[in-house]
Amino acid sequence: MSIDNGIRVAIVAGGSRGIGRAIVRRLAEQGYAVVVGYAGNADEAAAAVKEATAAGAAAFAYRADVADESAVAGMFAEAEARFGGVDVVLNLAGRLYLAPVAEMDLDEVDALHRTNIRGAFVVAREAARRVRRGGSITLFSTSVVGTYHLTYGAYAASKGAVEALSKTLAREMRGRDVNVNAIAPGPTATELFFEGKSDEVIDQLALANPLERMGEPRDIAELAAFLSSPEGHWVNGQVVRANGGMI
């Protein structure tokens, strides 16, 4: 049954953990109906839905590999069936693989590109076909595109593709009244980010920006909510490096 009564509807691919989960929570607080897209961890997705409903939002979780066009189309179709349409799409689903170029495992590179590049194109294509007028599409990059840290070659290259995609799509949406942007976070305090890093490395990264702290998922969620909102609609075709001023 549709609940389309003026409520804006958001799909957050990669919404079960970390920054994505913070975005789900923030959009729920702002009154959106939210679809939590996830790849594998049903418990985390259920917890994200529980947080959204506790904030008063209608929400459900949908399992979809972002690189699988049939699964992604199914997620959009379910959102339309339950909520009446889709207004906002954010894709945070991603994969990280670190290695010097000379030592790269090309199977790992292929897997990275499948999620980070193909997945971004699949979600963007479905969003471009279905998002309603006045809506918003936000893809996710990384501030490593620009800092070029050692061992991040494959990951940064995949996110460079996402930035090119977002800028091109913004222009292709002419006449649709849909803004398209990319957010490129810097180091952000998520469980995934902390994994495998020493306290010394974390402290160094925290001091790499003039604000001298790690980003918090809420910092990125506030930006994502703004870009998705009518108030942020004039921001279009941009890559926003949300990193506290890290160079």
Of the residues 32, 38, 97, 155, only one is catalytic, namely: 155
Q: Does 148 qualify as catalytic in the annotation?
A: no
Q: 244-247: which pairs have CB atoms within 8 A and are 24 or more residues apart? A: 244/186, 244/209, 244/210, 244/211, 244/213, 244/215, 245/209, 245/210, 245/211, 246/143, 246/147, 246/186, 246/187, 246/208, 246/209, 247/147
- In the Cβ-directed half-sphere of 241, how many Cα atoms lie within 13 Å? 13
Active site (catalytic) residues: 155
